[in-house]
Amino acid sequence: MAVTKTIVKCTPYINSNSKVDQWDIEMTYENDSEGDATYYKSKFSTTVNQKDTDAEGNVIATNFTLKAKGSWSNADLVAICPTSHWDTIFASQVDSVITNPLVESTPDNNFNVPS
């Protein structure tokens, strides 16, 4: 399965030092080519803060280094996305919609109860 991942939208949040401290990112996943029987497309989004904090404001994780918005590459943006999680979700979606879709039942209104 050939999956294409493309960032379709990203919004930087700039702090008072002109550095990005948060990103809103949307990425599409596409399986095969539009028009193919196995084609499937899904969109994912995330908000990534530069630092994650607990309820008391203590830093529990640093997700990226502060830098100017012009210093970010596509690879940098992809790297801060939860792509392994999205990969799993997308594979599950493709499996349930394309590979193993639900089989619809139809009623047999002409069925007679055996004697």
Start-to-end CA distance of the chain, whole Å, equals 51
This prediction's pTM: 0.82
Q: Which residues pair with 23 in a beta bridge?
A: 12, 48
Q: Where do we find the tokens 């069925």?
A: 111
- Contact partners, residue 22, CB within 8 Å, separation at least 6: 12, 13, 47, 48, 49, 50
| DSSP assignment of 34-82 | TTSTT-EEEEEEEEEESEEE-TTS-EEEE-S----GGG--HHHHHHTS-
23: buried, middle or exposed (CB in 10 Å: 19+, 13-18, 0-12)?
buried
Longest dimension (CA), the chain: 84
- List the pLDDT tens digit at each of the 115 positions of the chain: 689 999 999 999 999 999 999 999 999 999 988 888 889 999 999 999 999 999 999 999 999 999 999 999 999 999 999 999 999 999 999 999 888 878 888 999 999 988 8
